[in-house]
Amino acid sequence: MAAPHTELLTLRDLLRWAITRFRGANLVFGHGSDNAWDEAVYLLLHALHLPLDTLEPFLDARLLERERQRCVDLIHERVNTRKPAAYLTGEAWLQGERFLVDERVIVPRSPIAELLGEQLSPWIDDPQAVHQVLDLCTGSGCLAILAALAFEDAQVDAVDISADALAVAQSNIALHGLQGRVRALRSDLLKQVPAERQYGLIVCNPPYVNSQAMGALPPEYRHEPRLALAGGSDGMDLVRRILADAPRVMAPEGLLVLEIGHEQAHFHTAFPALDPIWLSTETASDQILLLRRAQLAS
């Protein structure tokens, strides 16, 4: 039987074959794409060093043998390792921005990014009045960087307990040329954050996956750091600490934007007295909440 790279002559051939391989292997998506077509297109265009937003002109282009082999190898690696595509390419895209990633951090995908792209309107009516922002549990630093781009007069602290994650965040801060406005800080949640901080905005995508859901994670998600996912029996272990400590470092009119994934029921059980505003995006509803400092302090 001929090897795939000898029979698949064009990008269109490779794309059809890759989708068949992905569907046949029952891959799970959710790390930047949610279907086999989009993921195959991304991996093939990346392997060929082609613009990631331009497919049509190249579909019927005949490829060199070494190009075909490179594509085939990458598709095989995705299927055989079940690693998210971002770990194979070393990059992820969020709100049109490129971020460096590897297995020291979860793959950037938080829907909070979309809210930052809108400068959290209408909840923040004057973006220029935002001077201090905290991205708690920053991981790759993606939300800290998007916050700095959204609020141009703000200094942003990117906080994480993982030294490995902060090394990745530092690389992304440098990639975006934001060393003067975004700084990485190692802290166990808010423990080591200086008390004099007065953040007008805290964004946080903490570990919130409950223990039952952790046990059922597909292989793709098991490649991500457990430290960045596991939230205890009800997913609220770290959320409890965050909500208790946040008022100490929030400005009087400060806002907390918190992602909790599919744990809304557990949140309501854990915090029955809180009445947050639930924020929706194109890709998520009932997964992100907004709380004011006054609510938390009371």
pLDDT tens sequence across 49-96: 999 999 999 999 999 999 999 999 999 999 999 999 999 999 999 999
**Cβ atoms of residues 166 and 98 within 8 Å:** no
Higher-pLDDT residue of 32 and 238 is 238
- Residue 14: closest CA among 49, 51, 57, 61: 61
DSSP for 103-162? TTSPPS--THHHHHHTTTTTT-S-GGG--EEEEES-TTSHHHHHHHHH-TT-EEEEEES-
Domain count, the chain: 2
Instruction: Work out the percent of the chain whose per-residue pLDDT is above 90.
Output: 93
Note whether 287 and 205 are same-domain residues.
yes
Can you tell me whether residue 272 is helix, strand or coil?
coil
Give me the pLDDT at residue 207, please: 97
pLDDT tens sequence across 221-261: 999 999 999 999 999 999 999 999 999 999 999 999 999 99
Residue 146 lies in a domain: yes
CATH number of the CATH domain containing 35: 1.10.8
Note whether 110 and 212 are same-domain residues.
yes
Can you name the residues that pair with 136 across neighbouring β-strands? Answer: 159, 204
Give me the pLDDT at residue 1, please: 43
Final residue of a structural domain among 59, 89, 119? 89
Residue 100 lies in a domain: no
Residue 94 lies in a domain: no
Is 14 exposed, middle or buried, given 0-12, 13-18 or 19+ CB atoms closer than 10 A? buried
Say if residue 21's pLDDT is above 70.
yes
Note whether 37 and 109 are same-domain residues.
no
Note whether 213 and 259 are same-domain residues.
yes
Note whether 181 and 271 are same-domain residues.
yes
Give me the pLDDT at residue 134, please: 98
Fill in the DSSP letter of residue 249.
G
Phi, psi at 106, each rounded to 5°: -70, 155
**Predicted confidence band of residue 4 (pLDDT cuts 50, 70, 90):** low
**Cβ atoms of residues 35 and 66 within 8 Å:** no
Can you name the residues that pair with 94 across neighbouring β-strands? Answer: 97
* Mean per-residue pLDDT of the chain: 96
- Residue 203: closest CA among 71, 111, 283: 111
Final residue of a structural domain among 89, 124, 154? 89
**Predicted confidence band of residue 118 (pLDDT cuts 50, 70, 90):** very high
Note whether 142 and 39 are same-domain residues.
no
Residue 283 lies in a domain: yes
Residue 195 lies in a domain: yes
Residue 98 lies in a domain: no
**Predicted confidence band of residue 7 (pLDDT cuts 50, 70, 90):** confident
Note whether 30 and 157 are same-domain residues.
no
Three-point CA angle 4, 65, 67, nearest 5°: 95
Residue 78 lies in a domain: yes
Say if residue 3's pLDDT is above 60.
no
Note whether 44 and 126 are same-domain residues.
no
Final residue of a structural domain among 29, 63, 89? 89
Rounded-to-integer distance, Cα 31 and Cα 146, Å = 18
Note whether 136 and 284 are same-domain residues.
yes
Note whether 84 and 144 are same-domain residues.
no
Note whether 38 and 182 are same-domain residues.
no
pLDDT tens sequence across 147-196: 999 999 999 999 999 999 999 999 999 999 999 999 999 999 999 999 88
Note whether 27 and 116 are same-domain residues.
no
pTM: 0.94
CATH number of the CATH domain containing 272: 3.40.50.150
Residue 71 lies in a domain: yes
Question: Could you list the residue range(s) of the whole structural domain that residue 141 is in?
Answer: 105-297
